[in-house]
Chains A and B, each alone.
Chain A
Amino acid sequence: MAGRVRVVIAKVGLDGHDRGAKVIARALRDAGMEVIYTGLHQTPEQVVETAIQEDADAIGISILSGAHMTLVPRIVDLLRERGAGDVLVVVGGTIPSDDVGELKRLGVAEVFTPGAPTRDIVAFLQSRVAA
């Protein structure tokens, strides 16, 4: 049997809004996943490095600074460059719907906006990452 699902929860950018990231981290842990929380103010490079070091199946990026169209594509690109393009990338935060489509086109698996129940996020990761 393979190990538990390993997820990196990452706060990229400069904003300090970590309420959502922490709630998600805890909900995923309670659902039996292995959760690595990066803490705040991470660069895309740091996040990708953590994901590779931790052999993560998925990265959950929390961002509420409005810089998602700059920082998220950078993470997706870096993962590919480093041969980790199979790591599932999901995003959570205040993301306008126009940007949601664009992020998905760039390779983000799903975007969860305010009000998304944690059970939906758990279910999504469980369905997309075969442990």
Chain B
Amino acid sequence: MATGAKTFSTISGIDVAPVYTADDVALDYVRDLGDPGAFPYSRGIYETMYRGRLWTMRQFAGFGTAEETNARFRYLLDHGQTGLSTAFDMPTLMGYDSDHPRALGEVGREGVAIASLEDMATLFDGIPLGEVSTSMTINSPAAIVLAFYVCVAERQGVPRSELRGTVQTDILKEYIAQKEWIFPPEPSMRLVTDMIEWCTRELPRMHPISISGYHIREAGSTAAQELAFTLANGFAYVEWALARGLHVDEFAPRLSFFFNAHLDFFEEIAKYRAARRIWARELRSRYGAQDERSLRLRFHTQTAGVSLTAQQPEVNIVRTALEALAAVLGGTQSLHTNSFDEALALPTEDAVRLALRTQQVIAHETGVVNAADPLGGSYFLESLTNELERQAYDYFARIDELGGVLAAIEDNFFQREIAEASFRYQQEVEAGERVIVGVNRFTVDEDDQPPLLKIDPALERKQVERVRALRGRRETRAVEAALARLKEDAARPDRNLLPAIVDAAKADVTLGEMCDALREVWGVWRETPVF
């Protein structure tokens, strides 16, 4: 039976030959691959890879108020998860408190609502922050949420030097793809750089940023675009931190990345390998990094949300398993596997446990963890790795011609490239050139819908009341003083904003109030929409 494809190409449209031989790949082993743990880290950033330590199994979770999410966190830790990952709701991500008119109907829907230090303390109640590593997926208000976290740790008596985790903080990909922004690019980059600088000094085990291709891919990019745009953003952060006066080896060891694991198996593995090679080479040659930890590209992976189908949703279990396998064969440091019901709603507890079990099967039953980079040397894989690298450098050149990442954002360059790729893919699907099982082939008439997680609308009211009660009982004068200082520091680019944010958090200033203060000083970003 034919596959249905007229031509043979990867999901991103790279042509694939019938077979690959030594003639297709010119490789210098030491220059292009290196052993695992050795420059340029194409084969992995550690010598022993998963023999030394498995990847961190980190399921992204958050819904309702801090209490519901705290219970989900404890459930995941009880079932063998090894790190926490926090999803915030849309108002929090956009810098609105739960009682803001724009938050109506959105509170706790796509993540947990966190408006204050008090909410954050509830979120991590009973979870010793010195013992877990916590990822926080938030960007525009990242500094504020980090300040809440640091204050909760302080209350628990955990020193800053022991805090481990990652704050996403990657504002550039927001303008490019995920579109959850507040401020214009320039002040946003200043705030990101403040975070990198402050974490370098104060939180030596925290990753202040997770430079993310995931959302770029979900927005419809190709694998090469995900690779190129993410690394280009990474270089931009490095350049801002250097301009701040930091030395590359002071902060680069704490930069981390986040990639998508899509369905095209070999293309994904090639993407991770190419990413490591490019990063190591550029950090050394372009930015003068010497510390090996600066050269090692560490990354988290999430399986592709866009690959999940609402039709025959149990098939998503299979898709996710294959994507997760690609991430592991590509040498990821941590992994989130999507739950099969996520094209329909936020996942139920049972669905999340199954997704976690998928990782555990890969780790403990399949044997793929025994040898590092087990596919290295495959003619096909090495050829794809080279091709993705070549396409990435083509994009770097185009971005440079436009004047760099910020200029390219203002020019809508990335947004247009992604819209073009996603429309092309959609057309291929609708023409039947790309098969999606259960959607355009192998369909059934009637789907059984699994039980879905329902977010109780009463939670929104409960959260709104919590925020209002907090406003009623805190010390108004301290709040006003903290906000005045925040505005003053925001207007002075020579100051690091984090100390003012930490003090505001301690005075029970809310996330929305801090964002409003910054909006007042910096203004807000408006995109010119293109399609």
Chain A contacts to B: CB under 8 angstroms: 9, 13-19, 21-23, 25-27, 29, 35, 37-41, 43, 65-67, 69-71, 94, 96-97, 113-115, 117-119
Contacts and interface: CB of A to CB of B under 8 A. Distances in A.
Interface in B428-474: 430, 436, 439-440, 449, 452, 455
Interface stretch (B102-110, B184-192, B199-207, B233-241): B102-110
Contacts of A70: 104-106
Interface stretch (B155-163, B172-180, B365-373): B172-180
B430 A67 contact: no
B106 A37 contact: no
Interface of B: 90-91, 93-94, 96, 102-106, 109-110, 174, 178-180, 218-220, 306, 308-311, 343-346, 419, 422-423, 426, 430, 436, 439-440, 449, 452, 455, 526-531
B426 A118 contact: yes
A110 B426 CA distance: 21
B430 A119 contact: yes
Contacts of B419: 22, 26
Given A14-B94, A19-B422, A115-B439, A40 B105 contact: no
A97 B451 CA distance: 11
Which of A14, A25, A65 lies at the interface centre, i.e. has the most chain B CB atoms within 10 A of its CB?
A: A14
Given A14-B94, A96-B452, A115-B309, A23 B422 contact: yes
B206 to A, nearest CB: 26
Contacts of A41: 94
Given A39-B527, A115-B439, A67 B343 contact: no
B423 A26 contact: yes
A16 B529 contact: no
B426 A23 contact: yes
B531 A25 contact: yes
A65 B109 contact: yes
Contacts of B96: 14
Contacts of A96: 344-345, 452
A114 B105 contact: no
Contacts of B526: 39
B430 A94 contact: no
Contacts of B423: 22-23, 26-27
Contacts, number: 103
A18 B415 CA distance: 10
Given A22-B531, A70-B105, 8 more contacts: A14-B94, A16-B179, A16-B180, A18-B179, A23-B423, A67-B106, A96-B345, A113-B310
Given A14-B91, A70-B104, A22 B422 contact: yes
Given A26-B531, A96-B344, A114-B310, A65 B102 contact: no
**Nearest 7 A/B pairs, CB to CB:** A70-B105, A16-B179, A66-B109, A39-B529, A67-B105, A14-B90, A22-B531
A123 B422 CA distance: 21
Q: From A29, A97, A114, name the one whose CB has the most chain B CB atoms within 10 angstroms.
A: A114
A14 B102 contact: yes
Nearest to A9: B531
B183 to A, nearest CB: 14
A118 B105 contact: no
B529 A38 contact: yes
Contacts of B311: 115
Contacts of B179: 16-18, 40
A113 B311 CA distance: 10
A71 B105 contact: yes
Contacts of A16: 174, 178-180
A43 B102 contact: yes
Contact of A19 (B180, B220, B440, B528): B220
A14 B515 CA distance: 15
Contacts of A115: 309-311, 436, 439
Contacts of A97: 449
13 contacts: A15-B110, A16-B179, A16-B180, A26-B419, A26-B531, A27-B423, A38-B529, A39-B527, A114-B308, A114-B309, A114-B310, A115-B310, A117-B430
Contacts of A19: 218-220, 306, 422
A68 B104 CA distance: 11
B177 to A, nearest CB: 8
Contacts of B178: 16-17
A56 to B, nearest CB: 16
B100 to A, nearest CB: 10
A9 B419 CA distance: 15
Contacts of A9: 531
Given A14-B91, A94-B344, A69 B310 contact: no
A14 B93 CA distance: 9
A65 to B, nearest CB: 5
A94 B93 CA distance: 19
Residue in B96, B106, B346, B436 whose Cβ sees the most chain A Cβ within 10 Å: B106
Contacts of B91: 14
